[in-house]
Amino acid sequence: MIRLLSLFFCLFAATVTQAASIFVSVPPLVPVLKTLDADNQVESLVTAGYSPATYSPTPRQLVALSNADIFVRSGLPYEAAWMNRIKSVNPSILIVDLRDGIALLEHHHHEGHDEDTDPHLWTDPSLIANQLNKLAQTLIKLTPDRELVIKQNQLRYQQQLLSIDNQIRMLLAPYANNTFYVYHPAWSYFAKRYQLNQVSLERGGKDFGPHALEHVLEASRHNTHRVLFVQPQFDRRLAQRVADEIHGHVVTIDPLSETYPTNLLDAATALKKAFSHE
């Protein structure tokens, strides 16, 4: 009897696949993968407080990548520099590129970005909703016994993303074509989705300078709603000086927040408040 039970448990264990080990390029993508299957181990290469423009994976992360099953990329600057290294330490790792099938926006003369395209796809929740099937199918390939759970989670999360998208559209619809300012152009997809104009202090991938200030001042003359988004990774004091110049105010919103997708709703709420009070 004991031998039969042991044989049964061995056969059962052989049919159940282990949870997947997944790396994503930035923190907002962590909850996307975790929501599809909470059993999976998901980690962002870029961690809180670091800039994707200058990031390098740590030795510990490279060791973990050597045993990872999936890497989800979006075209951030460091990815192009490290893709060959990642593949060399783990030739069997599955690479999921979120850019596939999406009409990408360009960073005009923005040095260092992979293929000179904007990688901040997640700021438009409808784009991530459309990519859920690609992510779900990759997970099912690795953990086929979890297919039903993954598909159920995919449907629920897709509905959540589209609900957030609808809430943002309703919040910002009265302010179509309004302009907001950013230090780094991380909100291009958000701006396009919700019919807003983004003006960046950072020009051509270079730090803020006199020509950028002139550009921002010129843009501010044509609108009365002056809100400046700044990321925690950048110098708020500089942003405040610019806001003073354009008679606007600073709002701290982090496009790299892991509180996705509610962080996008927070950004929309901050914009609505700024637009409606000016």
Q: Hey, where are the domains in the chain?
A: 16-168, 174-276
Query: Which residue's structure tokens are 């609108």?
Result: 223
Domains 16-168 and 174-276 equal at CATH topology level: yes
Radius of gyration of the chain (CA): 21
Percent of the chain with pLDDT over 90: 56
For the ranges 45-54, 154-163, 241-250, which has the lowest average pLDDT? 241-250
Which CATH class, in words, describes the domain spanning 16-168?
alpha beta
Nearest to 247 by CA among 230, 229, 228, 226: 226
**Are residues 248 and 199 in contact, defined by beta-carbon separation less than 8 angstroms?**
no
Task: Output the pLDDT for position 113.
Answer: 44
Rounded Cα gap, residues 229 and 182, in angstroms: 5
Amino acid letter, residue 153: N
Task: Give the mean pLDDT of the chain.
Answer: 84
Query: Which residue's structure tokens are 């953990």?
Result: 143
Is the preceding peptide bond at 261 cis, omega within 30 degrees of 0?
A: yes
Rounded Cα gap, residues 52 and 122, in angstroms: 14
Q: Under DSSP, is residue 115 helix (H, G, I), strand (E, B) or coil?
A: helix
pLDDT band at 252 (very low <50, low <70, confident <90, very high): confident
Structure tokens at 34: 């975790």
Structure tokens at 131: 């990519």
Rounded Cα gap, residues 10 and 3, in angstroms: 11
Continuous segment of H or E residues that includes residue 78: helix 77-89
Task: Output the pLDDT for position 225.
Answer: 59
CATH of domain 174-276: 3.40.50.1980
Label each residue of 50-73 as H, E or C: CCCCCCCCCHHHHHHHCCCCEEEE
Structure tokens at 246: 């354009």
Q: What is the mean pLDDT of residues 33-46?
A: 96
pLDDT band at 167 (very low <50, low <70, confident <90, very high): very high
Rounded Cα gap, residues 25 and 220, in angstroms: 34
Task: Output the pLDDT for position 114.
Answer: 43
Task: Output the pLDDT for position 227.
Answer: 75
Q: What is the mean pLDDT of residues 183-212?
A: 79
Task: Output the pLDDT for position 228.
Answer: 77
Question: What's the half-sphere exposure (Cβ side, CA atoms, 13 Å) at 143?
Answer: 24
Task: Output the pLDDT for position 2.
Answer: 56
Rounded Cα gap, residues 103 and 83, in angstroms: 22
Rounded Cα gap, residues 62 and 34, in angstroms: 21
- In the predicted structure, residue 38 carries a pLDDT above the cut 90: yes
Structure tokens at 173: 């619809």
Task: Output the pLDDT for position 89.
Answer: 92
* Residue 136 Cα to chain centre, angstroms: 17
**Are residues 225 and 274 in contact, defined by beta-carbon separation less than 8 angstroms?**
yes
Q: What is the mean pLDDT of residues 8-14?
A: 49
**pLDDT, tens only, 103-123:** 999 865 444 444 578 999 999
Task: Output the pLDDT for position 91.
Answer: 96
Task: Output the pLDDT for position 59.
Answer: 92
Nearest to 53 by CA among 125, 119, 128: 119
**Are residues 14 and 6 in contact, defined by beta-carbon separation less than 8 angstroms?**
no
Task: Output the pLDDT for position 30.
Answer: 98
- In the predicted structure, residue 83 carries a pLDDT above the cut 60: yes
**Are residues 65 and 93 in contact, defined by beta-carbon separation less than 8 angstroms?**
yes
